[in-house]
């Protein structure tokens, strides 16, 4: 797929959309390349309803360093590339939340057997995560959620400051 998208011969058959964001010294440019003519794609018949393939290239500059990575996707939807960028972005927000819950609270290692227990703990973990993130934003120096959580566990005053910040 990378060869097809990067080949200048195919430039006319590729739809393209670009977004840029700047936040806290981090500059991110996202480019979506969408191809609906997938007759060249081997094995396409194994994917029922396959309508397009697309790639999202992310160029991120932060603290003087630039990274450039491309992710490739398939879709059964005939969605414009602008909307595909939004869909992928929303998906990674959700994945980021789940990763944070697992890293900070070891959610995947939870051995509670009750489904209600899992749901209840998930709500409490998300509440704690929200409290810590809101508190961290108010600090002069930045600290990770996990480090802030540890500070709260070790220091009653720190925990009180967190709760007072509500």
The tokens describing 101, both together, are 């819950």
Q: Give yes or no for residue 8 having a pLDDT over 80.
A: no
Q: Give yes or no for residue 107 having a pLDDT over 90.
A: no
Quote the CA–CA distance of 112 and 134 in Å, as a whole number.
28
* Number of domains comprising the chain: 1
Backbone angles phi, psi at 131, to 5 degrees: -60, -45
pTM reported for the whole predicted model: 0.65
| Residue 36, in any domain of the structure | yes
Give the per-residue pLDDT at 154: 94
Quote the CA–CA distance of 73 and 109 in Å, as a whole number.
30
| Residue 37, in any domain of the structure | yes
Give the per-residue pLDDT at 4: 66
72 in Cβ contact with 41 (< 8 Å) = no
Centre a 10 Å sphere on the Cβ of residue 149 and count the other Cβ atoms it contains.
Answer: 19
CATH of the domain at 31: 2.20.130.10
Tens-place pLDDT, residues 24-63: 788 999 999 998 888 888 888 888 899 988 999 999 999 9
| Residue 154, in any domain of the structure | no
At a CB cut-off of 8 Å and minimum separation 6, what does 95 contact? none
Q: Give the H/E segment covering residue 52.
A: strand 52-62
20 in Cβ contact with 51 (< 8 Å) = no
Tens-place pLDDT, residues 132-145: 988 998 888 888 88
According to DSSP H, which parts of the chain are helical? 2-6, 81-105, 115-138, 145-154, 156-164
| Residue 67, in any domain of the structure | yes
Backbone angles phi, psi at 80, to 5 degrees: -65, 155
Quote the CA–CA distance of 112 and 39 in Å, as a whole number.
49
Parent domain of 51: 1-77
């Amino acid at each position: 797929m990378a060869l097809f998208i990067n080949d200048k011969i195919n430039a006319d058959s590729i739809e393209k959309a670009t977004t840029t964001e700047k936040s806290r010294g981090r500059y991110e440019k996202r480019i979506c390349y969408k191809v609906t003519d997938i007759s060249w794609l081997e094995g396409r018949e194994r994917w029922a309803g396959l309508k397009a393939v697309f790639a999202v290239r992310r160029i991120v500059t932060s603290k003087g360093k630039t990274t450039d990575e491309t992710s490739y996707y398939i879709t059964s939807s005939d969605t414009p590339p602008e909307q595909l960028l939004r869909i992928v972005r929303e998906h990674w927000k959700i994945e980021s939340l789940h990763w944070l819950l697992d890293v900070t609270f070891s959610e995947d290692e939870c051995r509670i057997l009750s489904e209600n227990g899992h749901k209840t703990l998930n709500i409490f973990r998300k509440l704690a995560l929200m409290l810590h993130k809101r508190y961290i934003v108010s600090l002069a120096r930045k600290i990770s959620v996990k480090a802030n959580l540890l500070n709260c566990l070790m220091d009653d005053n720190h925990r009180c400051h967190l709760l007072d910040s509500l």
